[in-house]
Structure formats: structure tokens, C-alpha cells
A = this chain, B = another copy of it.
Amino acid sequence: MRGRMRAPEIDSYVPSYIVGEPTSGYGVGVVVRSEYEGLKAGDHVYGILSHEEYCIREKLDDFLRFIKKEPGLPWSVYLGAAGMPGMTAYMAWKEFSKAKKGEVVFVTTGGGPVGSLVIQLAKLDGLKVIASAGSDEKVEFMKDVGADVAFNYKKTSTREVLKKEGPIDVYWDNVGGETLELALNAAKVGARFIECGMISGYNGDGQPVRNLELIFGKSISLHGFIVFRLEGKYLEEFYATIPPKLVSGEIKYTEEVLRGLETVGDALLSVQRGTNKAKMVVVVADE
């Protein structure tokens, strides 16, 4: 959503927001009326929805799908661990981590809906997990979901933690910039870097990476990705695997709920500032 706040002429994989038109983002909606075959009032859809109380859509496609809920889960989870963030964690971990028992992974933004699932998938695969976040509350949550080493990067030096707890075999990057440089320094030979985001560079001129030449000697691969290109391969497996584990409690999640359309801006701003407690969900209407 932050990336869509740009001039329309700047090319990207998602269209820019248009001034004067509603913004949009991933959401769960209830069908009020339908003339579309296979979809009836009361059904739920998941995908890119505009930030309006009601909207009209012409069809279902890859970005708006019919969705059934796992009994026992609230709909809000379908915006986090059972939604796009959960898919991001699950699908990229499966595709790129090549995780082996006993290896070490460093997960950034481990308190969020993506990072916290990565921590848990890594533990299920038998890895040692080092995880960072920007508040003590998130650090507690990361420990709660199983991180072996969890730290607040605003209080503790990432460099020192990686020196003591590394070197690392896998790096889950949500921040880029200097943290990516430190991860390159701390990487073992053959390390896999799963490049999910670079939030450190989103609000400014970007963050140069100054030691990329380490990828030669250490034979490191960096895998940039966008979750929707992995969905064809993993969507069915994801829904079969993750929601049941969320119901049983084998995989944990957390979220911070705001109410009312007028809070959408605050929700986004708190993620950019890092003042949010967990995955931000805005409830526009109760089911």
C-alpha cells in the first residue's frame, strides 16, 4: 500500500493510487447481492477491495476470490496468517529456503504476520531462529511463537547478535539497507536470502547496499519475489495446511484491530512508523 502512493507514471507491479479515488488493499468482503454465477448473497470474497463500505465488482479473478472460512477462525485472520501475509511466508519459505535441520535463520520484522509465521515454519523444520523486531511487545510475541533468540533492534545491536548467534544459512529480509548488509556479513557459504521487502528504503531515496560483492565468495543466492506469482504452485497446499494449524493452535498469530473506515490511514501510518503492536486489521462492518 505504501508503494502505491506514488506518481502514476512510475512503473511497478501494482498500479498507483489515484488522487480522488478510494484507496484499496487486501480485504474480506460479504456479498450483498450477486448476478455472478456461483456467488450468492452471504458468500465471502477475499482479495483487493477498495476502502469503501460497499463496492461493485464485475467478476472473480486472481485478485478477488470466493473464500470459505475454517470453522473456529475469525475472518480477520484471513487478512493475516491465513491471508496474503501468511501465503507470503509459507510459499516463499517452501520455494526458496531449502531449509535443513540444524541450520540457522535470521528473520526480520518477526513480530508481524509474515515474520511470525516464518519463525514458526523454521522451527517446524528444525532450524535455530534469530528474530528481530522494533518493540519489546513484539519481542515477547516472537519468543512466544518459538524464536530461539529474539531482540529489539532499537535497543540491541543487530551486528552483535549476529556475531554471537550466527553465522546464518537463511535470511528472511523485510527491511533491506544496513540490516541486509549485516546479514551478508553474517552469512555462511551457500546461504539463501529470501527477499520479501525493504521497508527501510520505502520512505526516502532507498537504501544502497554496499557489500553485495560478498555474494561471490559465499555463493549466496538472493531471491526476490511477489507472492501472487507463487500462488499457482502453492495455494491449495497453503489452505490445506495453515488454517487448520491456526485452529489447533500449532501455529500462533496475533493482530491489532481498529474499527471504522476512517482508521485506514492511521493503520498504515502505524506500520510505517513501527508503532503497531501486530498485524493491523481494520473492521469496517461486523459480519
Which A residues contact B (CB, under 8 angstroms)? Answer: 12-13, 176, 189-190, 195-198, 201, 206, 208-226, 229
Among B201, B214, B216, B223, point to the contact of A213 (Cβ < 8 A): B201
Complex formed: what's the CA distance from A208 to B225 in Å?
A: 22
Q: Contact at B226–A213, with CB atoms within 8 Å? A: no
Q: Which of A13, A176, A219, A220 has the most CB of B within 10 A?
A: A219
Residues of B within 8 A of A223 (CB): 221
Using CB atoms, name the residue of chain B closest to A221. Answer: B223
Complex formed: what's the CA distance from A36 to B141 in Å?
A: 61
Using CB atoms, name the residue of chain B closest to A187. Answer: B224
Q: How far is the CB of A196 from chain B (nearest CB, A)?
A: 8
The verdict on A222 contacting B221 (CB below 8 Å), with A198-B212, A209-B208 known, is yes
Q: Contact at A218–B210, with CB atoms within 8 Å? A: no
Residues of B within 8 A of A195 (CB): 215-216
- State the main secondary structure of chain A at its contact with B: loop
Q: Contact at A226–B217, with CB atoms within 8 Å? A: yes
Q: How far is the CB of A195 from chain B (nearest CB, A)?
A: 6
The verdict on A206 contacting B201 (CB below 8 Å), with A223-B221, A224-B220 known, is no
Tally of this chain's copies: 2
Q: Contact at A224–B219, with CB atoms within 8 Å? A: yes
Q: Contact at A208–B206, with CB atoms within 8 Å? A: no
Among B197, B216, B225, B229, point to the contact of A226 (Cβ < 8 A): B216
Residues of B within 8 A of A220 (CB): 224
Residues of B within 8 A of A229 (CB): 189-190, 219
Q: Contact at A206–B213, with CB atoms within 8 Å? A: yes
Using CB atoms, name the residue of chain B closest to A220. Answer: B224
Q: Contact at B211–A206, with CB atoms within 8 Å? A: yes
Complex formed: what's the CA distance from A229 to B218 in Å?
A: 10
Q: Contact at A212–B13, with CB atoms within 8 Å? A: no
Residues of B within 8 A of A190 (CB): 229
Q: How far is the CB of A6 from chain B (nearest CB, A)?
A: 12
- Shortest 10 CB-CB distances between A and B: which pairs? A215-B224, A208-B208, A13-B217, A222-B222, A208-B210, A220-B224, A216-B224, A221-B223, A219-B225, A198-B213
